[in-house]
Amino acid sequence: MTMGDHMTQLGSVMASAMFIWAIFKQWFPEDLGNHIEKYFQRRVTYFYPYITITFHEHQGDEFERSQAYMAIERYLSTNSSNCAKRLKANVIKDCKSVSMDDYEEVIDEFKGIKMWWTSTKSIPQQRAIFSYHADDEKRYYKLTSHRKHRDIVVGDYVQHVLDEGNAIATKTRQRKLYTNSKSENWYGNKRTMWSHIMFEHPSTFDTLAMDPNKKKEILNDLLTFSKSKDYYKKVGKSWKRGYLLYGPPGTGKSSMIAAMANLLDYDIYDLELTSVNDNTDLRKLLIDTSSKSIIVIEDIDCSLDLTGQRKKKKEDKKPDQKDPIRKKEKDKNKKKTEVTLSGLLNFIDGLWSACGSERLIIFTTNHVEKLDPALIRRGRMDKHIEMSYCCFETFKVLAKNYLDLESHDLFATIDRMLEETRMTPADVAECLMPKSAEEDAESCLNELIKSLENAKEEARLKVVESEDNGGQKVQECDESSDSEDD
């Protein structure tokens, strides 16, 4: 006889008793009825041989799903769903999972003890007959076992299920790439200011085109951070770290961020500051990010007018009535966003920045000299990483990635030319990428040499042109001085 049969028989007995009790209450005073009811409930509890623990999908009026409920769902999907007769399928891209359908029961065993899990849902009575929405349903799992095993069930088994469920989540977790918008979105039962897609960028530290020594230094820094929870707590700091990636366009700043996310298995929050209305919304966005994540603000020198803010305040004291065009432009910029440098600094390391843990905050810029020193000081941007032009060591990584080459007769020529000419890794990679099936590795290397020669010539012509313009300006200044003397 199954647990369901036992419960059916007991339910029939209980229903009969409740029917008799309803008739009994009509003939006896209310106080006496209450005393008899309490006595009756104690007797039923005394003879009922099972204990039941309920895990609700939502706690109270919270929108977010219960962590315990989700852990149980993952545990049962992996360990016990093969016993269920009715399953629910959930397919997101290439990720497939099945779980118990509503009102389904499965049996689990722990240390020789049988546990019964039931998936149940309830619908509010006022909406059960009329129209109701799926969001009105309240789901929960019920765990039932013999009461003589109470200590094992409550003390060991429940924790075992939660730990296993969390471990499964870590193994099967899909990284996400988030972006913010001006309006709120709904995902499931949660309202959020972020929208997301699955993050599938292939960049890793093995394929990252960078000097090996510099790469190893960054790799060790990241791994040390990920294992330093107790250390950060000991020194009284929030478990977060700031990285400033700076350098010319095409030097691999975005690829570096993707490699960091793939190494640490973190989600990425790509924060677009121009879509944030004010400092309050910026704080809400921060609160809505998860732990184990990277918060990125790319091209921060272009995102907002946060460069030279303190100088600008002095200039703004001048009246704008004399220059209506300048005033109109300022009003237009003000309507776009009211995020301030102070608000951004509080976002990075203020009190609200401690609302989560295990986070990286990354700024990228092409012009580090334009940023306010307060924004990039140590403690906010803890590690500054220069993403520079392609060197020979970087080229060898790219040659291995794109051409599967570790050595070639042309490498010595390319080594010499890279010392004389500046070219970004992105431009080098474009030359090394075969454009047709007939193009071989040597053709790609020759194309790179030709591009380096052209870049060297262009740089030489710019120097000559600059010198000519400088001489011309000196001559104009001399002529101007002569005319003034006359």
Pairing of strands 138-146, 240-246: unpaired
Question: What single-letter DSSP state applies at residue 174?
Answer: P
Q: How crowded is residue 358: how many other Cβ atoms within 10 Å of its Cβ? A: 19
Q: Does this model's pTM top 0.75?
A: no
* Measured CA angle at 277 (ends 276, 281), to 5 deg: 70
Model pLDDT, residue 34: 61
Q: Would residue 250 be called left, alpha or beta, if left means φ above 0 and alpha means ψ between -120 and 50 degrees?
A: left
Picking from 111, 105, 108, the residue whose alpha carbon sits closest to that of residue 149 is 111
> Do 193 and 185 contact (CB within 8 A), yes or no?
yes
- Are the beta carbons of 50 and 144 closer than 8 angstroms? yes
Neighbours of 262 (CB within 10 A): 17
Structure tokens at 45: 């509890």
Q: Where are the alpha helices (DSSP H) in 66-136?
A: 67-79, 125-128
Domains of the chain, by residue range, sit at: 49-172, 176-307+339-386, 392-473
Structural fold of domain 176-307+339-386: Rossmann fold (3.40.50)
Kindly report the length of the chain: 486
Summarised one tens digit per residue, pLDDT across range 332-390 is 544 456 888 888 888 888 777 777 788 999 999 999 988 888 888 888 899 999 999 99
**Phi, psi of 115, rounded to the nearest 5 degrees:** -125, 135
State which amino acid sits at residue 274.
T
Token readout for 426 is 């992105």
- Given this model, what pLDDT does residue 315 score? 46
> What is the rounded distance in angstroms from the CA atom of residue 159 to the CA atom of residue 429?
51
* C-alpha torsion sign, points 252, 221, 358, 67: positive
Of the CA atoms within 13 Å of residue 173, those in its CB half-sphere come to 19
The per-residue DSSP string of 148-172 comes to GGHHHIIIIIHHHHHHHHHHHHHHH
In this structure, are residues 395 and 418 in contact, taking their beta carbons and an 8 Å threshold? Answer: yes
Q: Give the tokens for residue 178.
A: 């988030």
- In the predicted model, residues of the chain with pLDDT beneath 50 are 92-95, 127-134, 189, 307-317, 319-320, 322, 333-335, 474, 481, 484, 486
Residue 211: DSSP 8-state: -
Which pLDDT does position 139 carry in this prediction? 84
Residues in Cβ contact with 33 at an 8 Å cutoff, skipping those fewer than 6 apart: 24, 25
pLDDT of residue 130: 46
Question: Is 113:148 a contact under the CB 8 Å cutoff?
Answer: no
Residues 6+ apart with CB under 8 A from 185: 191, 192, 193, 194, 195
Phi and psi torsions of 336, nearest 5°: -70, -50
3-state secondary structure of 384: strand
User: Using one digit for the tens of pLDDT, what is the confidence trace for 173-209?
Assistant: 788 999 997 666 655 545 678 998 999 999 999 999 9
- CA 174, 178, 183, 184 dihedral sign is positive
In the structure encoding, which two tokens stand for residue 223, read together? 């791994």
Do the beta carbons of residue 241 and residue 349 sit within 8 Å? no
- β-pairing, 293-297 vs 190-198, is unpaired
Give the orientation angle of helix 3-27 with respect to helix 30-47, to 10 degrees. 160
3-state secondary structure of 292: coil
CA 204 to chain centroid, in Å, comes to: 17
